[in-house]
DNA sequence: CTAGAACCTGACGTTGACGTCAGGGGCAAG
DNA sequence: CTTGCCCCTGACGTCAACGTCAGGTTCTAG
């Protein structure tokens, strides 16, 4: 598939895909005329990349982790790296849950019209 | 307390605090000589702001939400706004959990030295 | 064969949350 | 009084993940 189709399938921009290639996150073969060609599996790959970006990983970090994903093997260092990122994400989740609960409390507070009387009236 | 102390207490930079004021997120009284003075409650406020930033809210959005937090009351619109952001955060949490699980799967995969034979040896 | 969509490679623009530097004032200790 | 630390206001710098524009090539439908 060509870049436009992949972009549509994966829900990202064409520019983003070229950027991922530039960063070494996503390889493509080329047609005779130089157009990028992708396998169907690229859709999943792009979504993983997006997930990792959304989790706050930088291109450089992703670029360091993906090769060992592809190779399906890892050095002790890369394993530690993966685990560290996993734990970071865990921390982020906990933080987000806390933030959501604070927001809930605020909503609770602001929802009561006058005083917080709970009388059934 | 002055700005340096608040920065230390809340774990952010002095520059960040000035930026929050510029964005209308954090008010301060001024001493005769023009120095910013904060109440003790400001520490908590700053941490809430940080939480909201970490949850992906922009300054503008936070600036729109905080006043109704202070007033402890809300218009129907602001209530909808609060709920919408809450739901956005919920979505983010779900996405992060998915990402974490994908990472876990990857770790699983790469941890097995050779083939995935589960034989006890 | 030709118009228009899709692709290519640079390369500069954008945005948000600060970092950092310049230049100057105020305040407690010695 | 002066040394040193904290404070002030601009105002420019930064960085990442793209957006966007220019100028040119390629593919495809009629």
Question: Do B14 and B30 share a domain, yes or no?
Answer: yes
Is residue B11 situated within a structural domain? yes
Question: Do B3 and B27 share a domain, yes or no?
Answer: yes
B58 Cα to chain A: minimum distance (Å): 15
With CA atoms as reference, the chain A residue closest to B110 would be A73
With CA atoms as reference, the chain B residue closest to A93 would be B93
- A20: helix, strand or coil: helix
Question: Do A78 and A46 share a domain, yes or no?
Answer: no
Q: How many domains does chain B have?
A: 2
User: B58-102 pLDDT, tens per residue?
Assistant: 999 999 988 877 877 778 888 888 999 999 999 999 999 999 999
Per-residue pLDDT band at A119 (split at 50, 70, 90):
very low
Local structure of residue A115 (DSSP, 8 states): S
Question: Do B7 and B52 share a domain, yes or no?
Answer: yes
Mean pLDDT score of chain B, rounded to an integer? 88
CATH of the domain at A13: 1.10.1660.10
Sign of the C-alpha dihedral, residues B61, B67, B70, B71? negative
Q: Produce one character per residue of A52-71: b if its CB has 16 or more CB atoms within 10 Å, e if not.
A: bbebebebeebebbbebbee
- Is residue A52 within 8 A of residue A69, CB to CB? The reply is no
A34 Cα to chain B: minimum distance (Å): 33
Angle of CA points A74, A75, A77, to nearest 5°: 115
B42-54 helix and B3-10 helix, angle to the nearest 10 degrees: 50
State the CB neighbour count (10 A cutoff) for residue B92: 19
Question: Do B38 and B87 share a domain, yes or no?
Answer: no
Is residue B103 situated within a structural domain? yes
B31 CA, C27 C1': separation in Å? 13
Is residue B118 situated within a structural domain? no
Per-residue pLDDT band at B57 (split at 50, 70, 90):
very high
Which of B103, B51, B53, B56 is CA-nearest to residue A52? B103
Domain that holds residue B26: 1-72
Question: Do B107 and B66 share a domain, yes or no?
Answer: no
At residue B87, the pLDDT reads: 94
Q: Mean of the pLDDT values across residues B29-45?
A: 95
Q: Mean of the pLDDT values across residues B42-69?
A: 92
Q: Is the pLDDT of residue B50 over 50?
A: yes
User: A7-37 pLDDT, tens per residue?
Assistant: 999 999 999 999 999 999 999 999 999 999 9
Size of interface A-B (CB pairs under 8 A): 96
Residue ending a domain, choose from B39, B54, B72: B72
Question: Do B66 and B85 share a domain, yes or no?
Answer: no
At residue A76, the pLDDT reads: 82
Question: Do A78 and A121 share a domain, yes or no?
Answer: yes
Which of B38, B48, B26 is CA-nearest to residue A106? B48
Q: Is the pLDDT of residue B4 over 70?
A: yes
A96 CA, C29 C1': separation in Å? 46
Question: Do A5 and A48 share a domain, yes or no?
Answer: yes
Residues in B closer than 8 angstroms to A106, CB to CB, are 69, 82
Is residue A64 situated within a structural domain? no
Question: Do B42 and B68 share a domain, yes or no?
Answer: yes
């Amino acid at each position: 598939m060509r870049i436009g189709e992949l972009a549509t399938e994966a829900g990202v921009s064409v520019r983003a895909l070229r950027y991922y290639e530039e960063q070494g996150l996503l390889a493509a073969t080329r047609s005779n005329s130089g157009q990028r060609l992708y396998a169907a599996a690229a859709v999943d790959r792009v979504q993983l990349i997006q997930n990792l970006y959304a989790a706050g990983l930088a291109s450089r970090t992703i670029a360091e982790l993906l090769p060992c994903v592809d190779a399906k093997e890892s050095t002790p260092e890369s394993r530690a790296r993966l685990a560290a990122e996993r734990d970071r994400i865990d921390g982020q989740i906990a933080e987000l849950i806390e933030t959501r609960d604070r927001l809930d409390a605020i909503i609770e507070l602001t929802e009561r019209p006058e005083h917080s009387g709970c009388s059934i009236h």
